[in-house]
Amino acid sequence: MQEIFTGSFTQQEPIPDEGIVAALEVMRSGRLHRYNVAEGEFGETALLEQEFAGAMGARFCVAVASGGYAMACSLRALGVKAGDKVLTNAFTLAPVPGAIASLGAVPLFVGVTEALTIDLEDLAAKADQAEVLMLSHMRGHLADMDALMLLCNKHGVKVIEDCAHTMGATWNGRLSGTDGVIGCYSTQTYKHLNSGEGGLLITDDEVLAAKAIVLSGSYMLYERHLAAPAPEVFEKIKYHTPNVSGRMDNLRAAILRPQLRKLGKQCAAWNERYSCVESGLRGTPGLQIVERSEQENYVGSSIQFLLLDWESCKINSVIDRCLARGVELKWFGGAEPSGFTSRYDSWRYAPSDKMPSSDRVLSSILDMRLPLTFSVEDCALIARIIKAEVSAVYQSG
Ligand SMILES: Cc1ncc(COP(=O)(O)O)c(C=O)c1O
């Protein structure tokens, strides 16, 4: 009898009880807007910012409406203007080039390696064409951040990190989001903290922090923040920085604060599931594991593997056969976007020269989410199913 998996790849864990209680409290108070606080009260959003800055070891933090908003806000704070080129990954998700395009700026795509990280050679070749790199740690794969920062510093390129998939991860012991001038995070349902929608940005730069706070829609209420620079810093920028409303509200922040306290535990649980699937897939003929660097301490909330140089019909066959046994794989390299887009040639508003070695990698990437509602035994079963179906299609010649 064939084994079948019956779990849901989109079912997340419930919000912790503490978060539900805090959310009810906010609703009972009626004070959902972040600046609507009672005498002596700071509000959930300001407290979340203080706690997130503390958890990341950053000086400043701003909570916003989404990860995409955090990225666009960072670009604005850095002074990116319409028509400017912004370097970014050829392999990422649509909100990343979308954040660049939202300013009228132009994404300049940099290739991807078989490690699913940004191609540093291609980055070096293109670094003199832009002043900012929007670096996406897509699917939690961290490039050699020591080499990348050296390269960017040499070329005077400022780095914004998109840590939508690396909240809690480290490179050489440094938390993801702390190498660049700004780190951006998403708290959308499928990320490491879940408030439905939401975003956070961190920085150690006081002028960028002040600009981001005013940009996010603080009016002149920035003194109600707890992870913000001193009022004098705002004096320098407040008349010249537009309000591009995108605040977080107290309800979301209330849900997020207890989750942040559990982040380390959650990351360990993801990694237990990831290593179970990874070891189950090792040795599958025709399947390439995405190897991780020793310096990388990743968060395995999803897993990717490569079917390099496989014909499209065979990749489709693997996907169909796995789906028939309850395992949902996403083909990130599919030629036509379906449900999501993750490759540079899907974003035709930003045309790019062809990148053949990246195309080879992109067309081979299969992806699977690992929600924490899966047990480790579920993960072992999923790996057995994928291994069997990949082997069967590979051996069919
Ligand atoms: C790699 C990556 N960056 C950024 C984002 C944007 O996050 P949000 O949905 O909160 O705007 C996402 C969301 O899916 C993402 O996958």
Q: What is the pLDDT of residue 336?
A: 74
pLDDT at 88: 98
Q: Distance from CA of residue 242 to its chain's centroid?
A: 26
67 lines ligand 1 (CB under 6 A): yes
Q: Give the per-residue pLDDT at 330.
A: 93
- pTM comes to 0.97
What distance in angstroms lies between residue 174's CA and the mean position of ligand 1's atoms? Answer: 22
- Give the distance (Å) from ligand 1 centre to CA of residue 386: 27
Residue 1 pLDDT: 81
Nearest CA to ligand 1 atom 7: 67
Q: Which of the four CATH numbers 2.40.37.10, 3.40.50.150, 3.90.1150.10, 3.30.2130.10 does domain 263-395 have?
A: 3.90.1150.10
Mean per-residue pLDDT pooled into runs of 10, the chain (397 residues): 94 97 98 96 97 98 98 98 98 97 98 98 98 98 98 98 98 98 98 98 98 97 97 97 98 98 98 98 98 98 98 96 97 76 90 96 96 98 98 93
pLDDT at 341 (0 to 100): 78
Q: Ligand 1 pocket, 301 CB below 6 A?
A: no
Chain-centroid distance of CA 139 in Å reads 7
How far apart (Å, rounded) are the C-alpha atoms in residues 289 and 286?
10
Is any ligand 1 atom within 6 A of the Cβ of residue 31?
Answer: no
Calpha distance 248→76 (Å, rounded): 18
Q: Is the CB of 162 under 6 A from ligand 1?
A: yes
Q: What is the pLDDT of residue 148?
A: 98
160 CB under 6 A from ligand 1? no
Q: What does the domain layout of the chain look like in residue ranges?
A: 17-261, 263-395
Atom of ligand 1 nearest to the CA of 92: 1
Nearest CA to ligand 1 atom 8: 67
CB of residue 186 inside a 6 A radius of ligand 1 = yes
**Whether the CB of 93 sits within 6 Å of ligand 1:** yes
One DSSP character per residue, 164-227 reads TTTTT-EETTEETTSSSSEEEEE-STTSSS-SSS-EEEEES-HHHHHHHHHHHT-TT-GGG-SS
Is residue 225 within 8 A of residue 46, CB to CB? The reply is yes
- Provide the pairing of β-strand 170-171 with 174-175: antiparallel
Cβ–ligand 1 distance for 300 under 6 Å, the answer: no
DSSP string, 31-53: --STT---TT---HHHHHHHHHH
Q: Give me ligand 1 centre to Cα 365, in Å.
A: 19
Alpha carbons 353 and 351: distance in angstroms, whole number: 7
17-261 shares its CATH topology with 263-395? no
| Protein residue with least CA distance to atom 3, ligand 1 | 164
Q: Whose CA is nearest to atom 10 of ligand 1?
A: 67
CA of 219 to the centre of ligand 1 (A): 26
CA angle 106, 360, 318 (to 5 degrees): 115
Q: Which of 186, 248, 341, 367 to mutate to test the pocket of ligand 1 (most atoms within 8 A of CB)?
A: 186
CA of 12 to the centre of ligand 1 (A): 17
The CATH number of the domain covering residues in 17-261: 3.40.640.10
> Separation of 183 CA from ligand 1 center, angstroms?
13
